[in-house]
Amino acid sequence: MNLIGEAIKLRNEGNKEEALERLLQLLNTIEAEQAAQLNYQIAWTYDSLGLEKEAVPYYLDAISMGIQGEDRSGALLGLGSTYRTLGQYEAAENVLRQGIDEFPENKEFRVFLAMVQ
């Protein structure tokens, strides 16, 4: 298991603070191609700790770095949901509509979009 995988395992086991600490330490040492994935995992972990405001820049970085596939879908959904939680409904709507455009088969984008309209 790689270091990101170990941190994900810690988060899933409820050790969220330790997972976040490890992910943040990794951010300074990883290769560029892993940076998008790591930023996504950091954002997700902040969200799971109820620290939505802190999650936003990491979601944005993951998306702008070109995270792909299922992780891109998760990053867009996470960012849209986080904006909704923060009361930033226009930003949430924009991100969720982007998710619908990129992943039309993923129904969860429409569910979250309904919550911000």
Q: What distance in Å separates the CA atoms of residue 44 and residue 56, rounded to the nearest whole number?
A: 10
* Mean pLDDT on 97-106: 98
Q: What is the pTM of this model?
A: 0.82
Q: Which of 27, 23, 61, 60 is nearest to 45 (CA)?
A: 23
* Mean pLDDT on 37-46: 94
Contact 86, 52 (CB under 8 A): yes
The pLDDT value recorded for residue 5 is 87
* Mean pLDDT on 8-16: 92
Contact 56, 83 (CB under 8 A): yes
